[in-house]
Amino acid sequence: MSAESTPNLMEAVVSLAKRRGFVFQSSEIYGGLNGFFDYGPLGVELKKNIRDCWWNDMVRRRDDIVGIETSIIMHPKVWQASGHVDGFTDPLVDCKVSKQRYRADQLFFAAVTVDGEVKGYVSALESEDTVGALQAAAESFKRKKAIQGTLAPVVAVEFTEATEAQIPLIPSPATGEPGSLTPPRAFNMMFETHVGPLRDSASVAYLRPETAQGMFVDFKNVVDTGRVKLPFGIAQTGKSFRNEITPRNFVFRSREFEQMEMEFFIHEDDDWAKWHRHWIDWCKDWLLSIGLPASHLSEYDHLKEKLAFYSKGTTDIMFKFPFGVQELWGIAARGNYDLGQHEKASGVPQAIFDETTKKKFIPHVIEPAVGLDRIFLAVLCGAYAEEQVTDEKGKAETRTVLRLSPRIAPVKVAVLPLLKNKEALTERAKELYKKLQRRYAVFYDEAGAIGRRYRRQDEIGTPWCVTIDFDTIEKDGTFTLRERDSMEQRRVTEAELLALLDEQVY
Amino acid sequence: MSAESTPNLMEAVVSLAKRRGFVFQSSEIYGGLNGFFDYGPLGVELKKNIRDCWWNDMVRRRDDIVGIETSIIMHPKVWQASGHVDGFTDPLVDCKVSKQRYRADQLFFAAVTVDGEVKGYVSALESEDTVGALQAAAESFKRKKAIQGTLAPVVAVEFTEATEAQIPLIPSPATGEPGSLTPPRAFNMMFETHVGPLRDSASVAYLRPETAQGMFVDFKNVVDTGRVKLPFGIAQTGKSFRNEITPRNFVFRSREFEQMEMEFFIHEDDDWAKWHRHWIDWCKDWLLSIGLPASHLSEYDHLKEKLAFYSKGTTDIMFKFPFGVQELWGIAARGNYDLGQHEKASGVPQAIFDETTKKKFIPHVIEPAVGLDRIFLAVLCGAYAEEQVTDEKGKAETRTVLRLSPRIAPVKVAVLPLLKNKEALTERAKELYKKLQRRYAVFYDEAGAIGRRYRRQDEIGTPWCVTIDFDTIEKDGTFTLRERDSMEQRRVTEAELLALLDEQVY
């Protein structure tokens, strides 16, 4: 049974994440806080490994990209210049009776049309089958009101498009009754706070809703202090915050999350489409390098007419999550809009000098932006599998296995003495364990039957188990290397193990 | 000339940090934001290396400590239970005329006593020589008012201890005139925000002022999902926020900063003093392992009578900064106060079961807590030196050198072809560079005289430079390894270089 055929994959992943300490609800003993999550002992290692792989591949192993780390709270003028103060909003609908709040673009309604006449309205929250839900609601509406005639197939309409006349007639999803929904209003998603002892408009500041502006605001500092020349990139990872109206799908859409963004600056005359394609390909290759299944990845080009006026094009790399195909990594060609905005707002010139043409210009930018928590979730969903296997005694059992790439697995090797009560075995095992621990995250386990110990490692995605047995200490020093996915076992020397790790974990 | 004898060391360090892209003021193009900093290309690498060393030594290389990562915004009840909502305050004094704000515990005053009679008051902000400043102010006061007689030596008093009668008589440091300072009031240093679309008291949340509470709130989750047993620790690194009234001393006291904290849980009957000592020693050893000079470290035991009622003892590891000896790492024995508070407030039992005594109890805790930005600053201050050396042509010059440990240096090796225009040299240099880059942060530089290239690396703390010359390509393949601190040069093979890195960078 592969990941794709696991029924309720999402439930299985969330359950494993909780059971084995990958992800906890934030402040769980206080009932949790909607849209906030904590990473447990295994989760923090997996997350750190993904982050470090990205950093190494994006920054340290390249000559044309440098890293920075900017503050979460920046000068409020940054967010005025970037357009976030005015425009970073979601359409919000209140239900005055239930006090529930909905995103208007996630709330759908449909007219109940019988024999060509509108008899009323039904509503449903966006789901895998919004139209089906609306159709069922319409049928129920017709039945309950004992309306005779032929019901037309429903047409789903986003609540943002409801007319003034329709709004009072659309039922609230909370109460099922019309009359309580308000017209949509723009709700700014930036968290607001105050810096300094005074709480007035002059002290308002925001938690950054994206890390990208840090790269733009520090652009000149990087140019002036580093030895960079076009084309070059500035990258950072770090927390961002969005006061989502309806956080959902586990860590997919949360209110506090971590981004990994890079701004790649190119000459104004350079071929932006070529660079755009380059970075889409780079991002896809990188996702494959950390083990995401190619079968789950696809591309989505944003419609030209839906792009911001300054945007030349945006392509999303999509991932097939259990709850649908969703955006994972956005690669946007943003022209020179951001640097231009900051030049205007700050009065500090952002142009750089072209030695060839002797002209000054503001560089254009390609921006690959991805959420670390989303990759984390994609990794778990892509790696999770339940398999029917046969245990040592020939009994059929289900094994849960996380097929994580060795690059990002929280534990690289589990070192297992065959028996707990034979000191010669445990001593040698501990010696190997300590040696490996200097370079790698390793785990020592001597408790229980060897088969059960393998299963425990399978479930957390440990690529290799090494078993120290009597042959190890009495014969040639080799030990059993057991591979997670194939479950194959072979004898290896310590040198062979070290070479394997050196090649696979990087 | 060593670091200690560099006049204006702080200025020199801040200037280097800006010039070479270690630290920028946040939002500098908008005039900056007081108390917020960005880390530039070299700074982010140095900071990441310190963080990773701590994580590897504190978590990955140990069997008794696990890591977690909790959210910055937690349930507000966490901060009620921890005491931060009521007690995390600084005493704030306003100057009603200048609108300046001061921390009352950083503002000092003294009576001007002439021939045994109080003639008035003077004030001064805390500095290296507060008493001297007050004495000078008193003399100036006496002179300006043409008071005859003998001035008694001043006695500095904290503004927090000013009586109601004294306050109107104490001059504001901003105006020099009395009458404008308010009595101190408690100012809560937590940044406040609102979660969700409503802005009312029910939606208030705080940016965490410390990471420690995350470990306490998730304690039961870790116990229930990990295979931990006492004594064991939970560690995390992450951003914290404090709305400081007077941020100062560069990144030493900022409003947004990163902490590295660990909570080490022990049996209630265990010897807390032994563990307390153990962790003080561990922390000092660790600071030495990343290269802080032992001569700059000292210990300070908090006075018993100044401890919180639940505290058994707190010892700070102090560092000699250019602006004075200041707290670097606090190691606190906190009893079982925090878990006990969360048990009371949440109603969720935090006790664990002792198999031996068959009794339940709430574990006690030792907490080593350190600020990453402070270590970063201590590292720079401890490593900075200006030396008189002689260049190739026999001319005396000053070299600036950062004596960073190879463990944390942003660049480990610079690879330099002797000449830029000899393809055989640059090809071999690039080949080595690419090979090293898979594992290490390395830098390739072919621009300028070799001596100048060495100096550029000295200034950013690169421990080794490797020069590819004609002997490398025509004779034995060895290259020149130049050591930063001694400036000694010797021939090494590639294998010797790799072994050196493997030993020194970990």
Domain end, chosen from B187, B202, B230, is at B187
Question: Residue A427's domain is classified under what CATH number?
Answer: 3.40.50.800
- Confirm or reject contact between A503 and chain B (CB < 8 A): no
CB contact under 8 A, B245 and A197: yes
pLDDT band per the 50, 70, 90 thresholds, residue A1: very low
SS3 label, residue B206: strand
Least confident of A41-55, A75-89, B369-383, B384-398: B384-398
Q: What is the DSSP string of B133-186?
A: HHHHHHHHHHHHTT--SPBPPP--EEGGG--TTTGGGSBPTTTS-BS-BPPPEE
pLDDT tens by residue, B6-28? 679 999 999 999 999 999 999 99
What is the predicted pLDDT for the residue at B198? 83
- Confirm or reject contact between B194 and chain A (CB < 8 A): yes
- Confirm or reject contact between B300 and chain A (CB < 8 A): no
Calpha distance B403→B458 (Å, rounded)? 8
| Among B69, B82, B189, B373, the residue to mutate for chain A (most A Cβ within 10 A) | B69
What is the predicted pLDDT for the residue at B382? 97
Q: What is the DSSP string of A418-430?
A: S-TT-HHHHHHHH
pLDDT tens by residue, A293-342? 999 999 999 999 889 889 999 999 999 999 999 999 999 999 999 999 99
Domain end, chosen from A187, A202, A230, is at A187
Token pair belonging to B122 = 């003077």
CB contact under 8 A, B74 and A48: no
Residues, chain B: 506
pLDDT tens by residue, A472-495? 999 999 999 999 999 999 999 999
Answer yes or no: do B339 and B217 share one domain.
yes
What is the predicted pLDDT for the residue at A392? 75
Answer yes or no: do B119 and B182 share one domain.
yes
Calpha distance B30→A342 (Å, rounded)? 9
pTM here is 0.94
Tell whether the model's pLDDT for residue A5 goes beyond 70: no
A402 in a structural domain:
no
pLDDT tens by residue, A137-169? 999 999 999 999 999 999 999 999 999 999 999
Handedness of CA A136, A142, A148, A150 (dihedral sign): negative
pLDDT tens by residue, B176-188? 999 999 999 999 9
Residues 336-355 of B with CB under 8 A from A: 342, 345-346, 348
| Among A29, A234, A240, the residue to mutate for chain B (most B Cβ within 10 A) | A29
> Could you tell me which residues are beta bridge partners of residue B349?
none
With beta carbons under 8 A apart, name residues in chain A contacting B506: 438-439
Tell whether the model's pLDDT for residue B4 goes beyond 70: no
Q: Are A289 and A411 in contact (CB under 8 A)?
A: no
DSSP conformational letter for A506:
-
CA–CA distance from B80 to each of A30, B88, B206, B345 (Å)?
Answer: 11, 10, 11, 8
Q: Which residues contact A353 (CB under 8 A, 6 or more apart)?
A: A359, A360
With beta carbons under 8 A apart, name residues in chain B contacting A192: 193-194
- Confirm or reject contact between A37 and chain B (CB < 8 A): yes
Structural domain count of chain A: 3
Q: What is the largest CA-CA distance in chain A?
A: 88
- The ipTM assigned to this model is 0.94
CB contact under 8 A, A68 and B38: yes
pLDDT tens by residue, A195-210? 998 888 889 999 999 9
CA of B45 to nearest chain A CA: how many angstroms apart? Answer: 8
Using a pLDDT cut of 90, give the percent of chain B over it. 93
Q: Are B53 and B318 in contact (CB under 8 A)?
A: no
Q: Are A270 and A295 in contact (CB under 8 A)?
A: no
With beta carbons under 8 A apart, name residues in chain A contacting B239: 72, 239
Answer yes or no: do A278 and A347 share one domain.
yes
Answer yes or no: do B298 and B374 share one domain.
yes
What is the predicted pLDDT for the residue at A35? 97
DSSP conformational letter for B246:
S
Calpha distance B458→B456 (Å, rounded)? 6
Calpha distance B196→B189 (Å, rounded)? 22
B385 in a structural domain:
no
Handedness of CA A320, A326, A328, A329 (dihedral sign): positive
Query: What letter represents residue B13's amino acid?
Result: V
Least confident of A14-28, A388-402, B70-84, B133-147: A388-402
Calpha distance B45→A237 (Å, rounded)? 12
Query: What letter represents residue A244's amino acid?
Result: E
| Cα dihedral A462, A468, A469, A475 in deg (nearest 10) | 130
What is the predicted pLDDT for the residue at A3? 43
CA of B169 to nearest chain A CA: how many angstroms apart? Answer: 24
pLDDT tens by residue, B427-443? 999 999 999 999 999 99
A2 in a structural domain:
no
Residues 357-416 of A with CB under 8 A from B: none
pLDDT tens by residue, A406-463? 999 999 999 999 999 999 999 999 999 999 999 999 999 999 999 999 999 999 999 9
Token pair belonging to B449 = 């005289």
CB contact under 8 A, B35 and A195: yes
CA of A9 to nearest chain B CA: how many angstroms apart? Answer: 21
Nearest residue, CB atoms, B38 vs list A40, A70, A220? A70
Closest B-chain CA to A216: B27
Question: Residue A239's domain is classified under what CATH number?
Answer: 3.30.930.10
Nearest residue, CB atoms, A221 vs list B28, B61, B236? B28
* Averaged pLDDT, B353-365: 93
CA–CA distance from B184 to each of A322, B91, B134, B304, B306 (Å)?
Answer: 57, 5, 20, 25, 20
Calpha distance A296→A320 (Å, rounded)? 5
A420 in a structural domain:
yes
B396 in a structural domain:
no
With beta carbons under 8 A apart, name residues in chain B contacting A197: 92, 101, 187, 243, 245
CB contact under 8 A, B75 and A27: yes
Helical residues (DSSP H) of A56-148, grouped into ranges: 76-81, 84-87, 130-144
With beta carbons under 8 A apart, name residues in chain B contacting A48: 55
CB contact under 8 A, A30 and B217: yes
Report the b/e string of B93-113 with b at 16+ CB within 10 A. Answer: bbbeeeebbbbbbbbbbbbbb
Helix A9-19 × helix A372-383 angle, to 10°: 110
Q: How many residue pairs bridge chain A and chain B with CB atoms within 8 Å of each other?
A: 224
Phi-psi region of B61 (alpha: psi -120 to 50; beta: other; left: phi over 0): alpha
Answer yes or no: do A370 and A488 share one domain.
no
pLDDT band per the 50, 70, 90 thresholds, residue A355: confident
Report the b/e string of B401-426 with b at 16+ CB within 10 A. Answer: bbbbbbbbbbbbbbbbbbeeebeebb
Residue A131: count of CB within 10 angstroms of its CB: 15
Q: Identify the domain containing residue A459 by its residue range.
A: 411-504
Domain end, chosen from A147, A164, A187, is at A187
Q: Are B484 and B462 in contact (CB under 8 A)?
A: yes
Q: Which of A69, A363, A18, A430 is nearest to A237 (CA)?
A: A69
CB contact under 8 A, A41 and B66: yes
DSSP conformational letter for A254:
-
Helices (H) and strands (E) in chain A, counts: 14, 26
With beta carbons under 8 A apart, name residues in chain A contacting B31: 75
What is the predicted pLDDT for the residue at B44? 98
Tell whether the model's pLDDT for residue A7 goes beyond 80: no
With beta carbons under 8 A apart, name residues in chain B contacting A21: 221-222, 225-226
Q: Are B472 and B415 in contact (CB under 8 A)?
A: no
Tell whether the model's pLDDT for residue B1 goes beyond 60: no
pLDDT tens by residue, A222-262? 999 988 999 999 999 999 999 999 999 999 999 999 999 99
CB contact under 8 A, B195 and A43: no
With beta carbons under 8 A apart, name residues in chain B contacting A77: 27, 30
SS3 label, residue B300: strand
SS3 label, residue B498: helix
pLDDT tens by residue, B412-469? 999 999 999 999 999 999 999 999 999 999 999 999 999 999 999 999 999 999 999 9
Tell whether the model's pLDDT for residue A2 goes beyond 50: no
CB contact under 8 A, B61 and A217: no
Tell whether the model's pLDDT for residue A45 goes beyond 60: yes
Answer yes or no: do A197 and A277 share one domain.
yes
pLDDT tens by residue, B271-317? 999 999 999 999 999 999 999 999 999 999 999 988 988 999 999 99
DSSP conformational letter for B210:
-
CB contact under 8 A, A33 and B437: no
Using a pLDDT cut of 70, give the percent of chain B over it. 99
Q: What are phi and psi of B388, to 5 degrees?
A: -85, 120
CB contact under 8 A, A195 and B255: yes
Rounded to 5, what percent of chain B is helix, strand, coil? 35, 30, 35
With beta carbons under 8 A apart, name residues in chain A contacting B196: 34, 101, 243, 245
What is the predicted pLDDT for the residue at B431? 97
CB contact under 8 A, B24 and A221: yes
Least confident of A77-91, A102-116, B387-401: B387-401
Calpha distance A197→A199 (Å, rounded)? 7
Answer yes or no: do B295 and B431 share one domain.
no
B140 in a structural domain:
yes
SS3 label, residue A345: helix
Q: Are A82 and A120 in contact (CB under 8 A)?
A: no
CA–CA distance from A39 to each of A18, A36, A44, A253, A262 (Å)?
Answer: 10, 10, 5, 15, 24
Cite the beta strand spans of A242-351 per DSSP E: 256-266, 297-301, 313-321, 324-335
Rounded to the nearest integer, the mean pLDDT of chain A is 95
Answer yes or no: do B372 and B418 share one domain.
no
Answer yes or no: do B176 and B200 share one domain.
no
pLDDT tens by residue, A98-124? 988 999 999 999 999 999 999 999 999
Phi-psi region of B40 (alpha: psi -120 to 50; beta: other; left: phi over 0): beta
What is the predicted pLDDT for the residue at A391? 78
Q: Which residues contact A496 (CB under 8 A, 6 or more apart)?
A: A481
Nearest residue, CB atoms, B41 vs list A28, A70, A226? A226
Calpha distance B252→B13 (Å, rounded)? 13
Tell whether the model's pLDDT for residue A379 goes beyond 80: yes
Tell whether the model's pLDDT for residue B3 goes beyond 70: no
Answer yes or no: do B119 and B175 share one domain.
yes
Calpha distance B214→B64 (Å, rounded)? 18
CB contact under 8 A, A35 and B195: yes
DSSP conformational letter for B330:
E
Residues 200-259 of A with CB under 8 A from B: 205, 207, 214, 217-218, 220-222, 225-226, 236, 239, 241, 243, 245, 255-256
More confident residue, A121 or A395: A121
With beta carbons under 8 A apart, name residues in chain B contacting A448: none
A60 in a structural domain:
yes
B2 in a structural domain:
no
SS3 label, residue B339: helix
Answer yes or no: do B161 and B83 share one domain.
no
- Confirm or reject contact between A85 and chain B (CB < 8 A): no
CB contact under 8 A, A67 and B241: no
Answer yes or no: do A100 and A62 share one domain.
no
CA–CA distance from B157 to each of A378, B105, B130, B171 (Å)?
Answer: 60, 9, 10, 14
With beta carbons under 8 A apart, name residues in chain A contacting B348: 29
Token pair belonging to A19 = 């059971």
With beta carbons under 8 A apart, name residues in chain B contacting A444: 63
